[in-house]
């Protein structure tokens, strides 16, 4: 099992931001990435629909012998990870908005959260923020329309910039000093977000923390790949492969093999 791949799935290309951090920390590990772009965004679906899609994705990765699965989607984590953990024996790593670190670091006691409807409406998000609201103000904003534009590769479009400005400017006016990105798609918008925010507003996402947790779980279960091999990364999508290829920040070399496939 040590040389088996790490499985990662998301509602589309967003989880590549998580894959990037995992590959950076664990360059010796093989990975299988599944972009379920045909059904993106998950944030607009019911809990039952999200669970069904997550089961489908999990079964696909398990059929390819993945030793651990990273649910690289905030909405999928908040709505389905408990069910997945109760159903399958494979270890799962989930993602949730990094609200607690932002709350602890905030000096203005005002933080913003940009996330999908599915994440903001989840019980996990509610429970996480409930106790914090006594100490800080949390300004929630649903990023309506952002994920579809990212999935189309339209990161530099005027429409996306207009949406971001409309979502972020009110939070800036409220005096936030931290912005939590509650969707794995949103780190790809970091340059655009920084253009809108004040320079002293810190942006927080979960990528590095997820990578560290993945390492910790693999180490605890003695599943780290300790053999010196050619790292193999396979990226699957059920839509246009060329868009997925644009987001993968690595090129094939003598020590790294990459494949893009449809499923």
Label residues 93-122 b or e (16+ Cβ within 10 Å = b): bbbbbbbebbbeebeeebbbbbbbbbbbbb
Q: Could you tell me how many residues make up the chain?
A: 263
Q: What is the signed CA dihedral for 150, 152, 157, 161, rounded to 10 degrees? A: -30
Q: Which of 54, 66, 73, 234 is catalytic?
A: 73
Q: Answer yes or no: 183 catalytic.
A: yes
Q: Answer yes or no: 66 catalytic.
A: no
Q: Are 84 and 55 in contact (CB under 8 A)?
A: yes
Q: Which of 54, 66, 183, 234 is catalytic?
A: 183
CA-based nearest residue to 31, from 246, 218, 254? 218
Alpha-carbon span 135 to 104, nearest angstrom: 10
- Please count the other Cβ atoms lying within 10 Å of the Cβ belonging to residue 234: 16
Q: Which residues are known catalytic residues?
A: 73, 183
């Amino acid at each position: 099992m040590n040389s088996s791949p790490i499985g990662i799935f998301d509602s589309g290309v967003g989880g590549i931001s998580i894959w990037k951090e995992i590959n950076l920390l664990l360059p010796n590990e093989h990975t299988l990435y599944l972009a379920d772009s045909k059904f993106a965004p998950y944030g607009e679906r019911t809990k039952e629909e999200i669970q069904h899609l997550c089961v489908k994705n999990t079964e696909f990765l398990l059929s390819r012998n993945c030793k651990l699965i990273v649910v690289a989607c905030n909405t999928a984590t908040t709505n389905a990870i408990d069910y997945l953990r109760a159903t399958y024996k494979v270890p799962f790593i989930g993602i949730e908005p990094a609200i607690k670190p932002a709350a602890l670091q905030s000096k203005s006691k005002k933080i913003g959260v940009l996330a999908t409807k599915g994440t903001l409406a989840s019980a996990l998000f509610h429970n996480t923020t409930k106790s914090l609201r006594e100490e800080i103000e949390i300004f929630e904003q649903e990023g309506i329309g952002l994920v579809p534009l990212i999935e189309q590769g339209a990161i530099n479009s005027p429409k996306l910039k207009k949406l971001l400005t409309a979502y972020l400017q009110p939070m800036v006016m409220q005096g936030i000093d931290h912005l939590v990105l509650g969707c794995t798609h949103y780190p790809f918008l970091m340059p655009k977000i920084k253009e809108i925010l004040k320079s002293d507003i810190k942006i927080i996402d979960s990528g590095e923390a997820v990578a560290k947790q993945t390492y910790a779980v693999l180490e605890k279960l003695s599943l780290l790949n300790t053999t010196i091999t050619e790292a193999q990364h396979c990226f699957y999508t059920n839509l246009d492969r060329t868009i997925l290829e644009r987001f993968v920040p690595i090129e094939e070399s003598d020590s790294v093999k990459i494949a893009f496939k449809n499923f």
